Copies of this chain bind each other. A is one copy, B any other.
């Protein structure tokens, strides 16, 4: 009978399972962890898509493959992947490889459970509660609620959905059609997820009123007042302001106290998108950047970014103590959230979310925090600020680097001005030509695999680089390398 014995892929042989996993783990340690974080190795192994498809042999066939082939595939996948833990990966708002967080992620994967009930996730229900409590305490709240979401975009959506539900509880059942037009406010520097969320939630992108930002990328509270008045004059009902702590490109922090004053005056929900900047709350030296955050109604904070907890680790924190999350999102599915369980069913947190199955995202952060302590994490933040400052000061000593502005965070935005353009600031096509430099250098660094830095146009500014100083393993030598490498790559331009 086909069903008389176990059909696990390794024929139920625990020794074979262990041998496979030991072999894979050996490859992971050698290729992803050792080489993947070594400055003497490439940060990426660029291949054109068509060539890479051939190299990977992606097709899924009828017949399975031998263990030897599988291990070869594991090596190839790692080899051709970008090493985001590498000290020359400056490309994204996450970087670095924390070994304790990785340990937590491996345990999470081996346990493979869902965060919805105490029944099947007892450790993680309690752990999530404790981690959220700790994050809330750093915001300045002694009580409240919260949940881990699959990324900051969805955390931001949750905040918008909660704010509209709090004001119009009927909308859960009756939808938006019966409501007046709603208006939410955020600065032009906000993350694009606010627009995406407004569309997804049925509000439409028109409901997002864009508030001016100053030259450093911070929301202008006076313009927020003006936008609120304008929206009201047009018959819309303002209900939420989304302020940003750590904007994506410039790393700006909106002035929360002034914005909170406006929200208080108008009775608006204050959401703070601190996906990027939230981790600064751990630093006694720098947390003043978020002064006023304790006045928020909700905060989105992604420890997978500056704390390097690993994708994804994104918390939505709430000041609410009225069970708003569950009231807004709950649907009391009787097959999962039975009320006649033998334990306190308040521990079944799954009905707080719009997902059903939900990954465990707390362990990686908890284990790293246990290993580092808040002090260790604080040093990490302070070091990132110090290294960003070092980068800025070194740039000033060199020809060919033009800062977009003095950074207040760890995003360092600048143009590399190649030799042929130096001293030509007054020529009419200077900015146009300067804007073509970053894409060329990006192509060169990626094809050599020496480094990765993001670039973008921004408002009226042409393409400039944004170095993100986030990897906790960075040293001054890596920063020196970055500057030297840009000069080397751009010397003929």
Contact = CB atoms under 8 A, between A and B. Distances in A.
B2 A382 contact: yes
A405 interface: no
Interface string A24-43: 11001100111011100000
Interface in A181-203: 181, 191-193, 195-203
A47 B123 CA distance: 10
Interface string A296-326: 0000000010000011100000000000000
Given A33-B21, A62-B375, A74 B107 contact: yes
Contact of A356 (B53, B99, B193, B359): B193
Given A74-B107, A84-B113, 5 more contacts: A32-B110, A60-B369, A92-B114, A154-B355, A334-B457
Contacts of A154: 150, 354-355
**9 shortest A-B CB distances, which residue pairs?**
A202-B202, A175-B204, A150-B150, A64-B373, A335-B456, A32-B110, A58-B130, A105-B109, A342-B443
Given A49-B347, A195-B331, A359-B150, A340 B161 contact: no
Contacts of A94: 112, 114, 357
A397 interface: no
Contact of A176 (B83, B204, B356, B463): B204
Nearest to A23: B103
Nearest to A310: B112
Nearest to A69: B370
A493 interface: no
A153 B356 contact: yes
A75 to B, nearest CB: 10
B97 A112 contact: yes
Interface string A443-467: 1001000001011111000010010
B4 A64 contact: no
Interface in A98-148: 98-100, 102-103, 105-107, 109-114, 118-124, 126-127, 130-131, 134
A302 to B, nearest CB: 8
B206 A175 contact: yes
A319 B105 CA distance: 35
Given A91-B119, A122-B47, A379-B7, A204 B173 contact: yes
A373 B63 contact: yes
A431 interface: no
A409 to B, nearest CB: 15
A366 interface: yes
18 contacts: A8-B473, A14-B37, A25-B25, A28-B110, A49-B126, A64-B373, A65-B373, A84-B111, A84-B112, A153-B356, A171-B204, A173-B205, A176-B177, A177-B204, A312-B357, A334-B456, A335-B458, A341-B439
Of A9, A69, A331, A372, chain B has the most CB atoms within 10 Å of the CB of A9
Of A64, A96, A201, A463, chain B has the most CB atoms within 10 Å of the CB of A64
Interface stretch (A215-223, A383-391, A414-422): A383-391
Contacts of A334: 456-458
B374 A62 contact: yes
Contact of A355 (B36, B150, B373): B150
A286 B219 CA distance: 58
Contacts of A9: 98-100, 368, 371-372, 376, 472
Contacts of A195: 331
A323 to B, nearest CB: 16
Interface string A70-90: 100110011011111101000
Given A334-B457, A455-B338, A473-B7, A196 B114 contact: no
Contacts of A176: 175-177, 202-204
A20 interface: yes
A410 to B, nearest CB: 12
A92 B112 CA distance: 12
B80 A123 contact: yes
B130 A60 contact: yes
A25 to B, nearest CB: 5
Interface string A395-416: 0000000000000000000000
